[in-house]
Structure 1
Amino acid sequence: MTAVALRRALPADAGAAADVWLLSFAAALPTVVRRRSDDEVRTYFREVVVPLRETWVAEAADRVVGLMVLDGDVLSQLYLDPDWRGRGLGDRFVDLAKRSRPGGLSLWTFQVNKPAHRFYERHGFVPVEYTDGSGNEEREPDVRYDWRPEQAQSA
């Protein structure tokens, strides 16, 4: 089995991280209409995500296979190369996020992404708000999840 390292993203990782995002989004959310072109996504990763957010990558065999972005106490992105799903990378990223933000985390995911709901609920996240999607650029109904350490202890 190939060893996978989680590490902070470097500027040189922006393109590969954007490519993982694009692959993962297409595989996991085929019905959600993206409002940004592939080139716009790559520019966003290069100019905003990697330099301005706490961006982590999973690297295997010198290749980025996953990414997680923390923005304050928000787990704003968690995407895996579809070929790397089911290998524990998401679990490792969530554990890292919880250690990094021991006071708690929030995240948003689309309502249609039922596998993500199951994944986050398995990790102690609780749905706290459902919207019609008017607040996100895709205009897709979404749900906010929260994780608080006191919730995990009482569960």
Structure 2
Amino acid sequence: MTLPAIRPARADEHDAITRIWMESWVSTGLSQPSEKLLSDLRARLPREIAGGWSLFVADDHGAIAAMLALHLPTLLLDQLMVAPSHQGRGLGRHLLAFTRRQLPDEIWLKCVRENEKAWRWYEREGFVFETEAPNPVTGFMMKHYRWKRSTRSA
């Protein structure tokens, strides 16, 4: 199987991106799909882009399979959301490799504490737990992780 191409998102894809975002979030079991959630994500996307997000999609022959939001100035991997139909196929690892090319020395991310599947995956991928703090908007307890490129010589 060929992995989807990662490319910058286009403005005309924002609705499809917010649907993938919601479907992926709902697949964690931490929320239920709803028009309110979809509406909130639709409103949030342009605010985040205006605030500095670099937004990418994984394009699977014209269908969006995942979204990736990076905030390069703060070295933050803000969102990595894979459509449920594409989960378990190595796409997350493909997006993380892309992220490491964009941020080759250091990456920070936050993960909801109850999303154990996600944070355990990040730990397996070399991220180190730093601290926990509540998200002031959602109230979720967030685990903060950091990855640094190894400086050891090969």
TM-score (norm 2): 0.86
Q: Distance in 1 between matches of 2:49 and 2:17?
A: 9
Q: Which structure 1 segments of 5+ residues have no match? A: none
Give the aligned length. Answer: 148
**Aligned counterpart, 1:97:** 99
Name the SS of the counterpart of 1:28 in structure 2. coil
2:30 alignment partner in structure 1:
30
Query: How do 1:57-72 and structure 2 match up within 5 A?
Result: 57-72=57-72
For residues 7-57 of structure 1, what are the alpha-carbon distances to aligned partners after superposition, in whole Å with 9 as ceiling and x for unaligned?
11111121111100010111114259x9x6321211222x23456411110
Structure 2 CA distance, aligned partners of 1:3 and 1:144?
28
Aligned match of 1:142: 142
Give the superposition deviation at 1:3: 5.0
Distance 1:130 1:27 in 2: 23
- Which residue pairs with 2:47 in the alignment? 48
Aligned to 1:84: 86
What is the CA–CA distance in structure 1 between the aligned matches of 2:81 and 2:29, rounded to whole Å? 11
* Unaligned segments of structure 2, at least 5 residues: none
User: Is the contact between residue 130 and residue 144 of structure 1 (CA under 8 Å) also seen in structure 2?
Assistant: yes
Alpha-carbon contact 1:10-1:50 (below 8 Å) kept: no
TM-aligned CA distance change 1:88 to 1:68, over 3 Å: same
Paired position in structure 2 for 1:130: 132
Amino acid at match of 1:112: E
Do the aligned partners of residues 70 and 3 (structure 1) sit closer, same or farther apart at CA in structure 2, a change above 3 Å counting? closer
Match of 2:114 among 112, 115, 118: 112
Query: SS at 1:136's partner residue?
Result: coil
> How far has the Cα of 1:99 moved from its partner?
1.1
1:86 match: secondary structure:
coil
In the alignment, which residue of structure 2 is the partner of 1:8? 8
Is the alpha carbon distance of 1:2 and 1:102 closer, same or farther for their aligned partners in structure 2, counting shifts above 3 Å? Answer: closer
What is the identity percentage for the equivalent residue pairs of Structure 1 and Structure 2? 24
Distance 1:99 1:2 in 2: 20
Give how far 1:2 is off: 6.0
TM-score, with structure 1 as normaliser: 0.85
Q: Provide closer, same or farther for how the CA distance between residues 29 and 109 of structure 1 changes in structure 2, counting only shifts above 3 A.
A: farther
Contact 1:2–1:61 (8 Å) recurs in 2: no
Instruction: Give the root-mean-square deviation of aligned CA atoms.
Output: 2.2
